[in-house]
Amino acid sequence: MRVSLILRAVATSWVAVVANASVGIFLTPYVLHRLGDEAFGVWVLIVNLVGYYGILDAGVRSAILRYVSRHKELNEQKKVNEVLASAFYYYLGACILVILATHLSVDPLSRFFSIHSQVLGEFKSLFLLAGLVQGVNLPLMVFASSLEAAGRFDQVYLTTVVCLALRVVGIIYVLHAGGGLFAVGATTILSQLLAYCVQVPLALRAHRGFTLHPKWVRAAVLLNMFRYGSISVGVGIAEKMRTYVYPILIAWILSPVAITVFALPMKILSFPGEGIGTMTEIMNPLSSELEARNNFAKLRELIQMSVQSAFLLLAPFAAFLFVFGGELLTLWVGPRYAIAYRLLVFLTLGVGVAATQCCVQSMLFGIDRHKQLLWYRLGEGISITVFGAAALEVMGLQGLAIVMAATLLLTSLVLVPRHLCKILDLPLRRYLLQGCVKPCLLVLPAAATFVASRFIFQVDSWPDLLAAALAGGFVYGLTLFFVWRNHSKPVFRALRVDVLQVLGRKIWLASESN
């Protein structure tokens, strides 16, 4: 895979993340106050319920990334077609099953969660539409996955950004016209479907010999994809327990209104989490190509720099949330939601750190060594479900946040990295020191700046909050530049971060060539 494609993928992933974050920051309070707490909570519940249909993916998407990238590297176009055609017709069957399951479950679910009569009709209509679109998205996923396997993540992200812009315009229009929960949800869902549709011709262009003719369907190929993806199924189920279980637990034990309070910090953390996750998605096909050449030295170098990059991005964001999280919530959605600050602190430790390890999971799938990952993810899901439910009964929302933080810290910093380190013959201590500890040390001057800013002036407006963020960001940038320029000196050698040296050298050479 060309270096230009990798850099383009990383750059466009952050374009998509910044766009999504901007939309979330500015649109969420607008939608929340127009719909109300209960309708907003019901929308979050629908999204999470429909998300469980992703289990029917059966790991086929990850198998497409693995095998298409591998066969493409080895110039085996016939095998590429066999993988894509077999996956497409499997997804077609899953699509029918999803639509049928949605129609059968809509009434029992509305009774189970005691949906209020004022939003019951919109809940049913929106849930049916969401299930229909989710089903249609499954066969279209073949095109999106094949595009990613070709390394064209830049096209995937750019189409996502364009459809996101259309979604924003649509939501503002329907709310201004007096639309409610169904109109907002339908606009969101259909814009996601549009993104998948746009990626179809792009995938056909990326794979010149692309065909879905039934003659290429191979039962043996599909079974092999299921074998590879069977672990992905378990991992996917466990991840959905971890990611999507909180609205169900909260609605069951507390109320749909309480979902909104918990969902706000989760929404904030979704921005860096999505950014780091999309940035490291390219690790899957890239690792597959390196494993095909048996280049484990490059794999060790790649995972170390990927983790460093993730922590370099997360650490300043986490420091800002620790200091100004309460002010951010107040300015974003209103003073009455500032009670979510404690939840934000705990969830940043758990969900934030877990996001930095997305590259580890991507590499494990890329090199086909992901079997053990099932037990770790299943343990996470069961722990959060069982202990989280108990903590909700005793301590409320804060108890659930503590359980999530403790569980994700254990798996993300110890169990899963240790598994990969054994495979790559990389000491866990070195992995943690180089990838996690050093980037966190580099954020200390910026964190001190945030604390000082909080005491120097009162942050009660968006300009004040932005000024504090820029001050800390400026100090952080100076710190990284200073360490990069002086890494050879003995006093700074201990703070050397390899990814800074690589990026700095690339930027320096590019500036000299210009």
**SS3 annotation, 292-329:** HCCCHHHHHHHHHHHHHHHHHHHHHHHHHHHHHHHHHH
Half-sphere exposure of 308 (CA within 13 A, CB side): 23
Cβ 260 vs Cβ 41: under 8 Å: yes
| pLDDT at 67 (0 to 100) | 81
Identify whether 497 is part of a domain. Answer: no
| CA proximity to 448, closest of 475, 466, 467 | 475
The residue to which tokens 């999530």 are assigned: 404
Burial class, 52, CB count within 10 angstroms (exposed 0-12 / middle 13-18 / buried 19+):
middle
Total tally of structural domains belonging to the chain: 1
Cβ 206 vs Cβ 72: under 8 Å: no
| CA proximity to 169, closest of 136, 206, 194 | 194
293-352 pLDDT, tens digit each: 788 888 888 888 888 888 888 899 999 999 999 999 999 888 988 999 999 999 999 998
Identify whether 253 is part of a domain. Answer: yes
Mention every residue, 6+ apart, whose C-beta is less than 8 A from residue 235: 59, 361, 370, 373, 374, 377
First to last CA, the chain: 25
The neighbour count for residue 477, using CB atoms within 10 Å, is 12
Report the C-alpha gap between 316 and 298 in whole angstroms: 28
Cβ 497 vs Cβ 439: under 8 Å: yes
Report the C-alpha gap between 58 and 64 in whole angstroms: 12
| Tally of residues, the chain | 514
Burial class, 364, CB count within 10 angstroms (exposed 0-12 / middle 13-18 / buried 19+):
buried
Q: Write down the H helix ranges in 113-218.
A: 117-149, 153-176, 181-206
Report the C-alpha gap between 273 and 260 in whole angstroms: 19
Tens-level pLDDT at each residue, the chain (514 residues): 455 666 666 677 667 777 777 777 778 888 888 888 778 888 888 887 887 777 777 678 878 877 887 777 777 778 888 888 888 888 988 899 999 999 998 888 888 877 777 778 888 888 999 889 988 988 888 888 888 777 777 788 888 888 888 988 998 898 888 888 888 889 888 988 998 898 888 888 877 777 778 888 888 888 888 777 677 677 767 776 777 788 888 988 888 788 888 988 988 888 777 777 766 667 776 787 777 778 888 888 888 888 888 888 889 999 999 999 999 999 988 898 899 999 999 999 999 898 888 888 888 877 878 778 888 888 888 899 899 999 999 999 999 999 999 999 999 999 999 999 999 989 999 999 888 898 889 999 999 999 999 888 888 898 999 999 999 999 999 998 888 877 677 766 667 777 666 655 544 444 444 4
| pLDDT at 507 (0 to 100) | 47
| CA proximity to 332, closest of 273, 271, 389, 284 | 271
Q: Give how far the C-alpha of residue 242 lies from the chain's centroid of Cα atoms, to the nearest Å.
A: 13
| pLDDT at 377 (0 to 100) | 85
State the Cα angle at 510 between 504 and 514, rounded to 5°. 145
Identify whether 136 is part of a domain. Answer: yes
Could you tell me the residue range of the domain that residue 241 belongs to?
A: 3-441
Identify whether 461 is part of a domain. Answer: no
Identify whether 509 is part of a domain. Answer: no
Report the C-alpha gap between 212 and 140 in whole angstroms: 12
| pLDDT at 371 (0 to 100) | 78
Distances 132 to 94, 110, 167 between C-alpha atoms, Å:
12, 17, 18
Cβ 330 vs Cβ 338: under 8 Å: yes
Identify whether 512 is part of a domain. Answer: no
Identify whether 496 is part of a domain. Answer: no
Identify whether 89 is part of a domain. Answer: yes
| Local structure of 368: helix, strand or coil | coil
Report the C-alpha gap between 452 and 323 in whole angstroms: 10
Calculate the CA dihedral of residues 38, 270, 331, 445 and round it to 10 degrees.
160
Q: Give how far the C-alpha of residue 128 lies from the chain's centroid of Cα atoms, to the nearest Å.
A: 25
Report the C-alpha gap between 92 and 165 in whole angstroms: 29
| CA proximity to 358, closest of 449, 456, 235, 265 | 235
